[in-house]
Amino acid sequence: MTFEKTVAVVLAGGNKKFSFKEFWHQLEDLFTYREWYFRRGYKSLKKIRATWEGGGKPRPMVEYILKTLSRTMEIDRVVVIGPEREIREKIDPDLLSEAGKIRIFDQKESFGQNVKEGYKRAEEKYVLFVTADSPTTREEDVSEFLGICRGLRDEYDWIYPIVKESLLRRYYRLFPRPFFKLVPDNIIPEDYIDREDIREDGRVGFRITSMTFANLEKVPAERIDEAYNLRKLYRKSSRERLKTIFGKRLFRRYWQGLKMSELERIVSGYEGLSLKFVGLRGAGTSLDLDSWRDERRFSRLRL
């Protein structure tokens, strides 16, 4: 079956300047996640070395995902939103000469505005969004996800891939990350969950990934910014805001054993988009680089 070509938007934006608000969030995350995140310079342009690609000299982080997308058969064009001048100066010029597949546009004032700018530049109803901070994402991960989306996009506005805990266990020593736990009553693919994945309380651990496939025609940038600011669920400020939006009952239901279908329904009602979670077998999509510790351990990673 021939798959209609997809436009990918790479979100490579950031703030080079010092921000007291971001510094406060970093202090909060230091205690909740035990991480001190990158703060100075553009994260997407930090140079890292990939051992599985034969080592070589360090390259800007965004280069890894750009090369992955340029090699992925299902991707027709790649739109990059970030600090345009700096990206053009620092990434491999050969990437930009490959039949014009990659186009770079300057970032806007906020994450939500960057998402909407990328969506506008893509000029498609459904777009694959990918963040620049997951250099371990491989071509087969992108192809697997788009293959699942092929059969779902007529039913859902927003398809979000997740990775189960058992697939990430082998990387936990280098990339320890918290999991959120749900009862997977309607996960796609249907055979994604194995019996050994299920805990005694019926829940399964999951991690979010660096991709999403969405139709954002009717979603304002302000709503995207609000969702982005709530992404760190273990932050106290995020939890308080979530309680304001959804009520304390959501947290009680979570600890009692929230079903995946319930969460999809709740989020769909709030966002105004029909949401579907799907499971991926490529763990690399969840190994984002956030800190100096991640950068050091990335060079020792074997995929």
pLDDT, residue 163, reads 96
110 belongs to a structural domain: yes
pLDDT, residue 277, reads 97
Domain interval for residue 251: 6-298
Between 159 and 98, the higher pLDDT residue: 159
237 belongs to a structural domain: yes
Closest CA to 14 of 39, 42, 38: 42
1 belongs to a structural domain: no
Q: What is the pLDDT of residues 15-43, one digit of tens each?
A: 756 555 555 555 555 555 555 455 556 88
What is the Cα–Cα distance from 158 to 72, expressed in whole angstroms?
A: 21
Average pLDDT, the chain: 84
pLDDT of 2 above 70: no
Task: Put residue 123 in one of left, alpha, beta given phi > 0 → left and psi -120 to 50 → alpha.
Answer: left
pTM over 0.85: yes
Contact predicate 50/20, CB 8 Å? no
Identify the CATH number of the domain in which residue 122 sits: 3.90.550.10
pLDDT of 281 above 70: yes
Give the count of domains, the chain.
Answer: 1
All residues at 6 or more sequence positions from 167 whose CB lies less than 8 Å from its CB, including other chains: 281, 283
CB-side exposure of 280: number of CA atoms within 13 Å?
A: 30
State the average pLDDT over residues 123-134: 93
247 belongs to a structural domain: yes
Q: What is the pLDDT of residues 217-236, one digit of tens each?
A: 989 999 888 887 766 665 66
262 belongs to a structural domain: yes
Between 62 and 242, the higher pLDDT residue: 62
pLDDT, residue 1, reads 42
pLDDT, residue 176, reads 75
151 belongs to a structural domain: yes
106 belongs to a structural domain: yes
Between 166 and 228, the higher pLDDT residue: 166
303 belongs to a structural domain: no
State the average pLDDT over residues 165-180: 84
What is the Cα–Cα distance from 226 to 165, expressed in whole angstroms?
A: 27
